[in-house]
Chains A and B, each alone.
Chain A
Amino acid sequence: MFRLIITHLFTSRYLLGALLILTIGGGYLGFRNWLDRRTEKKQNTEIIREGEEILGSWGQKSASSLIRFRLRRDGTFTYKMVQYPVSDTVTINGRYGISSANGHVKTSDYPRLIAVSDNGDTIINHFIAYLTPYDAAALDQGYDKMILNAGGRLDTAGLVFYRIKDIQ
């Protein structure tokens, strides 16, 4: 009986078709993942995929400063800041994490990006107010944008960062 069911299943065209599609899809994703990691390693960069839009290099330029930081896949970050008119670059390395709302904390203050330097100083502790989604070509003038708020969701004034090509 059991054997008969198995035989029927494996001779079903629909099931075999579904298996083929799954194998092709899985193979594609696997291949893409392998290629991504290889490229990342070779080019010292981050290849961004769905759900990991926060990774990579971000920058913000104003009349008084240029801030760039890079969030790496392994949980480390590099923060570089130039304060004009002096053109010395302050570089800070450390680790970062995304803290999401759980338990009794207010959801309006989370998720937060928390980056702590190797010396133990908190460099970033901001609410992630906005992040351009992975498949959103028509948004934000065609550039990836991240808005960080010092407080929570209700803060209207935020720090706007753009994804930058230059690797930090």
Chain B
Amino acid sequence: MKIIRPALPVCFICILFACSSPSNRRAVSTDELEKVQAADSAAQQQYAATRDALSATELIELADCADLSCVQLYMKDRDNDFVHARKGEFAALHRSIVTDTAGNEFVMPLSTLYADVNPQASWRLAHTLHRKQTGDRLLGEFQQLGFAFVDSGYFIGGGLKGRQARFSSPEYPGKNLYITATYHPWYMKGLYNNKVTWPCYVFEVYKD
């Protein structure tokens, strides 16, 4: 009894403290809201995506990959900008507006990197850009690396002109760049599962 009596108020205080809600304690006053928001967005900034597409050198390096695990390993270092959405389907994390030929605006990633992982499919790794400007910029990067037009051939998906252009560079012997402007970058896959109404600019680099 001697111990219980002094312990009672202590227990009561302990219970009262345990009753406080951590969520309620983590509230900010309206005056400080702006400051907290700024600090939080600055902290988030280091994880924010900084670009919408891969660079030419990265695509050239990816050409050395012959299977998905190699691509996954390569893209793992770039997971700030690209997300591995589904098996063999990478997409830019940042989303922006893409306008289709009817003038409709869609919010979507400006680029994807898809590999064909279907059984019996031959290896295909395509970087598809959804804006002409980003496509032109990437083509410019390749041209700076010495890639020049070699020839063009029929594109199985039916490009805008039904053609696929091949580029090569003396600096990268044995590596060829294929560019197609098309509405059928992939057959029923990921983002392109339904009817694609916006022009896609497909970049593929392969090693002979």
Contacts and interface: CB of A to CB of B under 8 A. Distances in A.
Contact of B95 (A46, A137, A155, A166): A155
Contacts, number: 92
Contacts of B39: 141
Contact of B107 (A32, A59, A140, A151): A151
A84 interface: no
Contacts of A47: 21, 24
A166 B24 contact: no
A142 B25 CA distance: 9
Interface stretch (B29-37, B134-142, B150-158): B29-37
Contact of B24 (A56, A156, A160): A56
Given A48-B24, A144-B23, A28 B36 contact: no
A65 B33 CA distance: 12
Interface in A17-60: 28, 31-32, 35-36, 45-49, 53, 56-57, 59-60
Contact of A144 (B15, B26, B29, B33): B26
A10 interface: no
Interface in A118-168: 132, 134-135, 137, 140-145, 151, 155-157, 160, 162-166
B21 A48 contact: yes
Given A164-B27, A164-B30, A166-B30, A49 B21 contact: yes
A155 B15 CA distance: 43
B173 interface: no
A66 interface: yes
Interface residues on B, range: 20 to 34
A53 B36 contact: no
A66 B27 CA distance: 16
B130 interface: no
Instruction: Count chain A CB atoms within 10 A of each CB in B18, B26, B34, B95 and give the residue with the most.
Output: B26
A160 B33 CA distance: 11
A141 B37 CA distance: 10
Contacts of B56: none
Instruction: Count chain B CB atoms within 10 A of each CB in A57, A60, A141 and give the residue with the most.
Output: A141
B33 A164 contact: yes
A160 B40 contact: yes
Contacts of A144: 23, 26-27
A165 B21 CA distance: 13
B95 A59 contact: no
20 contacts: A31-B19, A49-B21, A49-B23, A61-B30, A61-B33, A68-B30, A132-B23, A137-B22, A137-B26, A143-B28, A144-B27, A155-B107, A156-B93, A156-B95, A160-B40, A162-B33, A163-B26, A163-B27, A163-B28, A164-B27
Given A56-B23, A135-B22, 17 more contacts: A28-B15, A31-B15, A36-B21, A46-B24, A59-B28, A132-B26, A134-B22, A141-B36, A143-B27, A143-B28, A143-B40, A144-B23, A160-B40, A163-B26, A165-B29, A166-B29, A166-B30
